[in-house]
Chains A and B, each alone.
Chain A
């Protein structure tokens, strides 16, 4: 029975549902890892890749200080800096095109010149998946992770996101963080629709706060759902505090394993008091995170 099942899956999922992947690129701080991930993923799923170059007109590679300190040569200095910046931006475009050509994938480029966060959120409405480096700030400063840009992005993103930390590895195993909440199941559904998962190993991880029963929330329903979408999935239920236990478990595993979670569905005010799980994971792990919510 299991064999016939798998064959059916393989057959059906060769027609992948993933058709348009977008990669967010800060052309002034080009992320090699995010682009590599996007290109390889597009190749793996036979999807079209769009490089979204966030050429925010308010964002420059130079500090106002550099201009001011040049005194009388202010204008000349600005022109120099702008020339350098333009060169940097077109260098990024060339690097992206080279990466796509090396994997022979179909791609296109959008240059979004308005405010970065708004442009990117708008692009996600029309995309199946967004790939972005977790360190993106879209400013000339460095910030600690999670950056303000990422937090704003995750609150309102209109398609699933894969947040990259380390270098690309093909997705062979995924671990799904399940807490019974709607957005958690939604994230799993989205993952299932987008990824042809024939040879993918899946594990469900759930943390209960008391010793009541070592069953995931809504046990019968989630088991029924998992059985038909990911028939060989493993179930792990532990007790403890979610943030602590999950981190402990995830630190033990291979950092190439994709972590799936529904996150950022609570409001901004709620997140002041309690961090999102996504923030905790971004700060402490190198694993790629697949996040989707249905707000």
Chain B
């Protein structure tokens, strides 16, 4: 049984993240753990800090915030009960958010993050700091979802020859065996034309076995429009990526057409790295 982690930073409650978990539970039962972490919004801290040179001090959660957090916890518990989801709530306001999140992800199979800002900033700016930090330090794969999405019926695996991209594909297959039977597209995401695909036989051998319904698309041969139209015909997709370090992450999404696709279609994105 999978243990899914939803991380709420203080006062935000992501409907999209909960909805995805709810639909996963319908497919096969999960344990849903909500971690309510202290707010890590540095903008708030800045307005309290007197001097830039001094150490940042994270203020204790304000009164009204504390009430809101409790409201969110109650809401979460009610939603889980109504939907027959096995759940736990972890509350820890004593540590800084990021180390606490890191430890939570160590003991989880998947972290789901609801982030509209991820989609707004993609390709234009880098994803916001706190999301990047979460993606970078998570010790389990992360699934980013928008507030409104369609539960995936097809998979799009992005591959660029790197260890990380294959690792992400393997982790996706292990975590979502129910999705493996869906129609799957393996996209070679190197943009340069005429570049030979690295280890074509190997990736075909591996992916072909995990995803019996597999098609392979080489982007330098098929122009972007084929990919867009492939997606349009199959609306509900999930994108799998191994983007790792901060620089590679933004590179991966800035350079390629995938950026447009994710922003236009608002696809859930599954990210795993070593």
Inter-chain contacts of A76 with B (CB < 8 A): none
Shortest distance between the CB of A11 and any CB in chain B (Å): 9
Q: A8-B29, A17-B177, A20-B209 are in contact. Are A225 and B107 (CB under 8 A)?
A: yes
Report yes or no: B106 in contact with A182, Cβ–Cβ below 8 A: yes
Report yes or no: B170 in contact with A12, Cβ–Cβ below 8 A: no
- Asked if A247 lies at the interface with its beta carbon under 8 angstroms from chain B, I say no
Report yes or no: A127 in contact with B206, Cβ–Cβ below 8 A: yes
* Inter-chain residue pair count (beta carbon < 8 A): 78
Shortest distance between the CB of A41 and any CB in chain B (Å): 15
The contact sample of 28 A-B pairs, CB cut-off 8 A, is A8-B29, A17-B174, A19-B209, A19-B210, A20-B205, A20-B209, A20-B210, A125-B166, A126-B166, A126-B199, A126-B202, A127-B206, A158-B166, A182-B139, A185-B139, A186-B139, A189-B140, A190-B174, A218-B106, A221-B103, A221-B107, A222-B107, A224-B3, A225-B107, A228-B2, A228-B31, A229-B1, A295-B274
- Asked if A40 lies at the interface with its beta carbon under 8 angstroms from chain B, I say no
Report yes or no: B88 in contact with A224, Cβ–Cβ below 8 A: yes
With both beta carbons as reference points, the residue of chain A lying nearest to B209 in the complex is identified as A19
- Asked if A23 lies at the interface with its beta carbon under 8 angstroms from chain B, I say no
Shortest distance between the CB of A45 and any CB in chain B (Å): 12
- A170-202: contact bitstring with B at CB < 8 Å (1 yes, 0 no)? 000000000000100110011001100000000
C-alpha gap A108/B177 in the complex (Å): 24
- Asked if A50 lies at the interface with its beta carbon under 8 angstroms from chain B, I say yes
C-alpha gap A147/B209 in the complex (Å): 33
- Asked if B109 lies at the interface with its beta carbon under 8 angstroms from chain A, I say yes
Shortest distance between the CB of B21 and any CB in chain A (Å): 14
Q: A158-B163, A189-B109, A225-B107 are in contact. Are A126 and B206 (CB under 8 A)?
A: yes
Within B241-258, which residues are at the interface with A (CB < 8 Å)?
A: none
Inter-chain contacts of B125 with A (CB < 8 A): none
- Asked if B175 lies at the interface with its beta carbon under 8 angstroms from chain A, I say yes
- A200-222: contact bitstring with B at CB < 8 Å (1 yes, 0 no)? 00000000000000000010011
Q: A194-B174, A229-B1 are in contact. Are A294 and B107 (CB under 8 A)?
A: no
- Asked if A100 lies at the interface with its beta carbon under 8 angstroms from chain B, I say no
Footprint of B on A, CB under 8 Å? Answer: 8-9, 12, 15, 17, 19-20, 48, 50, 108, 122-123, 125-128, 158-159, 182, 185-186, 189-190, 193-194, 218, 221-222, 224-225, 228-229, 294-295
- B151-184: contact bitstring with A at CB < 8 Å (1 yes, 0 no)? 0000000000001001100100111010000000
With both beta carbons as reference points, the residue of chain B lying nearest to A194 in the complex is identified as B174
- B7-33: contact bitstring with A at CB < 8 Å (1 yes, 0 no)? 000000000000000000000110101
- Asked if B203 lies at the interface with its beta carbon under 8 angstroms from chain A, I say yes
Report yes or no: B175 in contact with A193, Cβ–Cβ below 8 A: yes
On chain B, the number of residues with a Cβ less than 8 Å from chain A's Cβ atoms is: 32
Q: A182-B106, A218-B107, A229-B1 are in contact. Are A159 and B139 (CB under 8 A)?
A: no
Shortest distance between the CB of B52 and any CB in chain A (Å): 34
Partner of A15 from the list B103, B106, B140, B177 (CB cut-off 8 Å) is B177
Report yes or no: A185 in contact with B175, Cβ–Cβ below 8 A: no
Shortest distance between the CB of B234 and any CB in chain A (Å): 23
Report yes or no: A20 in contact with B206, Cβ–Cβ below 8 A: yes
C-alpha gap A229/B3 in the complex (Å): 8
Shortest distance between the CB of B111 and any CB in chain A (Å): 13
C-alpha gap A50/B88 in the complex (Å): 42
C-alpha gap A123/B166 in the complex (Å): 11
With both beta carbons as reference points, the residue of chain B lying nearest to A181 in the complex is identified as B106
Report yes or no: A224 in contact with B202, Cβ–Cβ below 8 A: no
